[in-house]
Chain A
Amino acid sequence: MVQKINYRIKRQIGTKILLPICVLSVLLTSCKKLIEVNTPTTSISGENVFTNDGTAISLLTGIYTQISSGSLLYGDFISVGLLTGLSGDELTLDIGSKGQPLNDFYINKLTSNTGNNLWYNIYPKIFVVNSAIEKLPNATSLTAGVKRQLLGEAKFMRAFFYFYLVNLYGDIPLVLSTDYTVNSVRPRTPKAEVWSQIIADLKDAKELLTTDYLDATLLGISPERVRPNKWAATALLARSYLYTQDWINAEAQATEVINHTALFHLDSLNNVFQKNNPEAIWQLQPVNYGSNTEDAKTYIIHSDGFSLSKPVYLSENLVNSFEINDQRKISWTNTITISGNSYAFPSKYKSDSLNAPLTEYNTVLRLAEQFLIRSEAKAEQKNIQGSLDDLNTIRKRAWLKKYEIGTSLDLSKIIYQERRVELFNEWGHRWLDLKRSKTVNSVMGIVTPQKGGTWSPNWQLYPIPPSDILANKNIIQNPGY
């Protein structure tokens, strides 16, 4: 009896439950609903980024974060100063690090597989700024001010990236959209065209960006000078005109910045790299755990000597180029004696201990450079007195004596010399100046053999990654690689 009931129940399970399940599921099959998934909760789809202020701002904040979180030793963008310092005559590589890839930069023997970090590091960021420049104008749900500021930041950053690419690699593919089908076959664009784009972007950025420094909502004013504003765009525009020998405009732009004394004036040497100091035009806030700047972390040498993470010191060439009494040598360099040998190292950034409060920011653009730009622009326009005035402004701060008009001066040479000792170890100025002044072959012809390498004019340009040449047959390698 019991068993019989069991049968009935089981039969019911069979016919009343299983069969409908089967039939139902067969009917449901191939129903799109069953395989539809929402976008993952842990990332944001490209469609949604520009639908609200927060995520749109995050995109540009992401770029600053990425640059700032880079390491000097792994060839991230922030290491432009270190890598070009090794390529040029500013830094010496400690012998213990000879086996490291840095050595290729040091002895000017880059292969197509080394020395392309910067290229690799910059272009993905250009994709992001391009996507912002493409999508922002049509983003209807953003606050108008935010939209305008972001577009300005994106154009500024694009110009900033191309400035370094064109200087380090020569002709480069000028990528202005996010369409990979177009970008993947783009050949190298002549330098002149890249320069016009840089200048055009900076002019736009200057129009779009606010005159104040903004906070991360882009709605409030901030004392932090870590987001580019109109003055950053103007300062970079001045530099770009200088590099393209448009002396009139270079002077005009630099003057605009210098005259904006409400925000900018020269500070004492010890304050120049402090966060938000009055000389800073654009700084990067450190984001890495426990450290102030990566520069301090890498360059400051202690009595325990060099190591894998502290492999460089200042070259004798640079140390000897300071005039006697130059306070910059005292404030911005330091020496340490290890095993009886004395080594000089850069100490522009001083705070290198773990978990110290954030006091120093990586300074990308600062006022002193604007004086030097204007000095050079004026000199080229034969405004000798004006040129010397600007130069002397900088020299005065370093306790150096003024240059007087009338003495036989090679004005161009002393301006470059001043740039050398003022801007050493900052964002590649020296290496770019060597090339810009066309003295690179004569200087490196002497320096490279001292470093254990052989100089060829080809080494002025870094090699393009072979993977890009493979993936885009329209790209031709720089000569010599």
Chain B
Amino acid sequence: MQSRVSRPSLLFTLLSLVYSLYAFGTPNRQFQKITITAINIPLGEVFKKIHQQTGISITNKTDETELSNRKKVTVNFVKTDITEVMSFLLIDYKDLNFIQNDKNIVIIKTFPLIPKGHFIANQKDTATVIFPFSGKIVDASGNPIPGATIKIKDSKHGTISNSDGSFRLSDVNKGTLIVISSIGFESKEIVVDIKNTTIELASRTNNLDEKVVMAYGSTTKRLNTGNISSLKAIDIEKQPPSNPLLSLQGRVPGVVIQQASGLFNSGVTIHIQGLNSIQSGNDPFFVIDGVPYISQLLPIGNASAGASGSSGIAGNPLNFLNSSDIESIEVLKDADATAIYGSRAANGAVLITTKKGKSGETKTDITLQTGWGKVGHMLRLLNTKEYLNMRHEALANDDITTPSQSDYDLNGTWDTTRDINWQKELIGNTANYTDAQVSLSGGTSLTQFLIGAGYNKQTSVFPGKFSDTKGSLHISINNTSSNQKFKVRLSASYMYDNNKPPLGDITNNAITLSPVAPDPYNSDGSINWAPTAAGSTTYYLNPLAYLVNVNTNKTTNLTSNLVVGYELIPGLEVRSSFGYNNMVGNEITKQYLTSVYPEYRMYYYRSSIFFNNRLNSCLVEPQIEFKRNLNKGKFNVLVGSTISQNNNDQSVTTATGFSNDLVMEDLASAINLSGSNINSIYKYNALYGRMTYNWMDKYIVNLNARRDGSSRFGPKNQFHNFGSIGIAWIFSQEVFFENIFPTLSFGKIRGSYGTTGNDQIGDYQFLNLYQPILVIGNLYQNALGLAASTLTNPYLQWEETKKLQLGLELGFIQDKILFTLNFNQNRSSNQLLPFSLPITTGFTSIIKNFPAVIQNTGWEFTLNTINIKTKDLSWTTNINLTIPKNKLLSFSGENSYNTISVGKSITMQRLFQYNGVNDTTGIYEFKDAKGNITSNPSDPSDKISIVTPDPKFYGGIQNSFSYKGFSLDFLFTFCKQNAQDNLSYGMLNAIYPGTFNYGKSNQPKSILDRWQKEGDNARLQPFSTSGKTLSLVGSSDAIWSDASYIKLKNVSISWQLPDRWKKIAHLQNLRLFMHAQNLITITNYKSFDPETPGLALPPLRVITFGVHITL
């Protein structure tokens, strides 16, 4: 019986499918007759059969209806009307009802307005009232929601709300089910009852429908065709105040962020989906409120903060942006998201959106916090006894019987009873954090404003008064004309930063200074040079001597953006964005005579170096955007153009020969002045377009195209085209899918392919330039000299990255579990590289486009789960994991370029292959290229071992709990990687175990494992005062070790005042909080911090406490 039914029913389904494709949405009453006979069949099976026979899908949200699809029923229908079938099936459930149109039936809890079985939509044969239905869509605080979709459920009849939130639908039956949806809000279904109503939408807690900012627009996670990760203010604020990029650490897949140092205003490197470029910049494209922002600062004199990326320039431009002003940070990764930025976004893009005002009562937000930072982990170094033993042994090994005149630690000059822990003395202080933020916001439905002000001060862990103070102001004003056609949006941020950093990072001194080295200060507070009786200095490397010099760096930064838009006809908007950035930095370094040892002062002179840096950029970006509903789909076209110019001006003045310390900022008091300056201009011009077609939120196609011209490239190659295609299929919207996987609430497959470019090579690289030679003394014959600075290459062109991405996004149990899987394969070619030249050509390199291809593949996983959500208690978990792989696919000039190799990562290093210490001779041995053991391998032919610092995988796990007013959030980050470990074989920066080096001679405890006599199975060669072949081990793979880690990166605890207390205190809100950063690190890595390998000051462990008040 069943089989007899099934065959026609298959045909039926096919027919209905074909039919529905051609005549989607027309009522087809003839298909709504059901024939099913079965005993004890699960309810779900009945629904399936109904679907097969009629094409009508039945939605039973079991957790709402509490009616299981597995419930067994016995039925006997022959050509029965579907309404009757449904009524029969639900006859035992008084609180259940169903609503129906020609494609869908939804089982719902009691719907008191309508009698059971009432046909709702487009049912002409029922007596209904037809009237125009109008209303207004607003959010929870009463602000209008423009652009919301108002649609009769499962029909194409619908409209979009105007900019004041209002809408009007003609010819609506009373009782019709209407669906209202808008980006960032919960969709709502209402039944038409009265003619005019105000409908309030609740903002989305579901992150699928949260607004996601993209290039020149916004979308949602649900509808996005590209790979964009988003971080909101709520997570950014969990960070103690610092560079906003650091808040992305561990929270966003595909992104590696490294802090160069634990000093304030430190460099921060960000790499999105791996390194695409061997030598040019790997910095992403930064955009703040639509205006491109610099990725690198201009050079300054003080490099103590560490560099951002490979440029070597200290600091990071985002240090001059107040992280409290940021509403969201979006990381754009694939071609679909970035191709519209053309030649600048091959390394991805980071979009920063600042906070905007919201309409409503004017409110004041105040956040105050204070905290402390310390070096989290000190190194284990030799104490005095071990140190002196090492030195004596080194002398004995070298057959030196009496310490030389300059062995101050052994010849009695220095007090060997001292045992100083220099780490404690030099980097053991506590850094203080103070932060205050006030903002005022509010507005009407037409105008909203926000004014924010911030103050932040940090100090350092070094001895001395080093600090960084920031004051900032942020303004945002939005206005819409009352006819909703004309819009103005202005946002501006200004920061003043007064940075007084140390002139060098003395962390290296802290770990290398001999434990018997004298006190840095004399009893009178002056620098102690520990002179001998004859008056000659012995303490050349007094770590505090150099810190006597003063470095101040004052920076002002203005970022601003004005957008003016006008809606010409409904759906067609013309707008233009005007951006202006201006960053001015003034750095002064004063080098005092007291910072050099007395004997040298006769050759030394007081000097002041003034760096005056000015970066400004202007941008005009006119756009036309056209939106239209087209055949059940939304059609969106954007055409725009960019005209921009960046000016970099730097002047460096060195003034020397001041007669005293007091006048060192007065150029007129200098005997000698010299200077240099850079004035470079970068012009950029583009035409771009985007076309998106979204068919029923089911199929989405997104096309981007851009034509770019840039002044950075040679006259022969200045223009280039970029483009991408992105498609998404939200398969969970397909009728058949809902039935197959009822627990799957969301399913999307997306893919994109396209090209982007990288033009980060600096200005004027294609010109053959001569520059004046800087002379601080006397000009040669009183005339200026010129020196050649570059070789010419008029064919310079962009690097190109072709990006392929595939993504799968799944939501389960009403999106309580969201899973994303992303695969990317980015291939970068046309590499801009300094082609290594022998110096015999006059230069070590020339910048050329190489046909090299670098491939970055990566798997990104994210899992967001709402584990518990009740009124009082909630627990959510976010997990992300990235498995990257970098590989050089092809390279034509490998022989001339020793640092890379086909098939290997571009970060690889070639090293000698370490083979241990020979137990007979005590000498380090290596395997040479032929496999023989040698203690004298030749460079480079025997560098056969290849290592790379690339992470194997990395990610983060964030858990958030909240119970009533309490909330607890902690983030673990993890990474599997290798890194250079500078300690296992002694401090290898030319300080070999046993050498004295003017007191820069201490060593880690691990060097005690050294060879002393024949047969010793030791790790280190014998101590020696001269180093000999020790440098070879530093060029071998011996010093590379596992640097994997798990880190409790961030903990945030807060407590919100209960409502009734708030009322008593007349506060809208009061929250106390604690934020902690870098709390615990679990690792085998020997040096300070595996996240910032090396021997610079590591990122600090910071704890802050604060209060947030809303008035």
Contacts and interface: CB of A to CB of B under 8 A. Distances in A.
A98 interface: yes
A64 B781 CA distance: 10
Contacts of A470: 836, 895-896, 898, 940
B485 interface: yes
B1027 A95 contact: no
A90 B536 CA distance: 26
Interface of A: 3, 6-7, 10-11, 13-15, 18-19, 21-22, 25-26, 28-32, 34-47, 49, 55, 57-59, 61-66, 68-69, 94-96, 98-99, 103, 111-113, 119-120, 123-124, 126-128, 130-131, 173, 175, 178, 180, 183-184, 186, 215-216, 222, 224, 226-227, 285-291, 297, 302-309, 338-339, 341, 352-355, 358, 465-468, 470-473, 475
Contacts of A186: 840
Given A47-B768, A226-B780, A291-B603, 19 more contacts: A11-B486, A22-B574, A29-B643, A30-B719, A45-B767, A46-B770, A55-B770, A61-B784, A96-B404, A124-B843, A180-B842, A183-B842, A216-B781, A216-B783, A289-B776, A289-B777, A303-B534, A339-B532, A471-B896
Interface string B682-707: 11111100000000000000000001
Contacts of A302: 599
Select the residue from B406, B780, B846 with max chain A CB neighbours within 10 A: B780
Select the residue from B537, B623, B842 with max chain A CB neighbours within 10 A: B842
27 contacts: A10-B566, A14-B568, A19-B568, A22-B576, A22-B622, A25-B620, A32-B709, A35-B683, A35-B711, A35-B718, A45-B768, A62-B786, A69-B775, A119-B839, A128-B788, A130-B842, A131-B788, A175-B841, A180-B843, A183-B840, A216-B780, A216-B783, A227-B781, A289-B605, A290-B605, A304-B536, A353-B602
Interface string B498-530: 000000000000000000000000000000000
B785 A11 contact: no
Contacts of B80: none
Given A19-B574, A128-B787, A304-B534, A472 B838 contact: yes
Interface of B: 404-406, 481-483, 485-486, 532, 534-537, 540, 564-568, 574-576, 597-600, 602-605, 620, 622-624, 639, 641, 643, 656-657, 671-672, 676-687, 707, 709-711, 718-719, 763-764, 767-773, 775-789, 791-792, 836-844, 846, 895-896, 898, 938-940, 990-991, 995-998, 1025-1027
Given A10-B485, A303-B534, A43 B839 contact: no
A113 B940 CA distance: 11
A46 to B, nearest CB: 3
A25 B622 contact: yes
Given A30-B707, A96-B406, A473-B895, A18 B574 contact: yes
Nearest to A227: B781
Contact of A112 (B602, B785, B939): B939
Contacts of B785: 58-59, 61-66
Contact of A44 (B565, B623, B770, B778): B770
B566 A184 contact: no
Contact of A124 (B682, B786, B839, B990): B839
Nearest to A468: B838
B842 A124 contact: yes
B770 A124 contact: no
A30 B775 contact: no
B770 A11 contact: no
Given A39-B767, A62-B786, A14 B780 contact: no
A18 B575 contact: yes
B622 A21 contact: yes
Contacts, number: 333
A458 B728 CA distance: 69
Contacts of B773: 62, 65-66, 69
A62 B406 CA distance: 40
B537 A34 contact: no
A99 B997 contact: yes
A466 B910 CA distance: 14
B448 to A, nearest CB: 18
Select the residue from B535, B656, B788 with max chain A CB neighbours within 10 A: B788
A287 B997 contact: no
B707 A61 contact: no
A473 B940 CA distance: 13
B778 A32 contact: no
B567 to A, nearest CB: 8
Contacts of B682: 37
Contact of B769 (A3, A43, A183, A290): A43
Contacts of B485: 7, 10-11, 14
Given A42-B771, A131-B788, A287-B780, A13 B486 contact: yes
B775 A14 contact: no
A468 B564 CA distance: 57
A354 B603 contact: yes
Contacts of B624: 22
A286 B939 CA distance: 38
The 10 closest A-B pairs by CB, nearest first: A127-B842, A14-B566, A62-B785, A46-B768, A96-B406, A216-B783, A65-B785, A289-B777, A29-B687, A468-B838
A224 B781 CA distance: 8
A32 to B, nearest CB: 7
Contacts of B991: 99
A14 B567 CA distance: 8
Nearest to B710: A35
A99 to B, nearest CB: 5
Given A286-B777, A287-B775, A291-B603, A339 B534 contact: yes
Nearest to B677: A42
B838 A173 contact: yes
Given A36-B683, A304-B536, A30 B483 contact: no
Nearest to B707: A30
A399 to B, nearest CB: 33
B612 to A, nearest CB: 14
B842 A126 contact: yes
Contact of A304 (B599, B620, B710, B775): B599
B718 A65 contact: no
A13 B764 contact: no
Select the residue from A29, A39, A112, A178 with max chain B CB neighbours within 10 A: A29
Contact of A358 (B680, B768, B778): B778
A299 to B, nearest CB: 13
B322 to A, nearest CB: 32
A126 B672 CA distance: 31
Contacts of A111: 939
A294 to B, nearest CB: 11
Contacts of B623: 22
A286 B997 CA distance: 31
B819 to A, nearest CB: 42
Select the residue from B534, B567, B574 with max chain A CB neighbours within 10 A: B574
Contact of A43 (B574, B575, B771, B938): B771
Contacts of A475: 838
B508 to A, nearest CB: 16
A304 to B, nearest CB: 4
A98 B404 CA distance: 11
Contact of A58 (B683, B782, B783, B840): B783
Contacts of B763: 37, 40
Nearest to A113: B939
Given A13-B486, A46-B792, A124-B839, A40 B940 contact: no
Contacts of B844: 467
Contacts of A465: 839
Nearest to B566: A14
Contacts of B998: 96, 308
B574 A288 contact: no
B574 A35 contact: no
Contacts of B895: 470, 473
Nearest to A57: B783
Contacts of B789: 43
Nearest to B845: A471
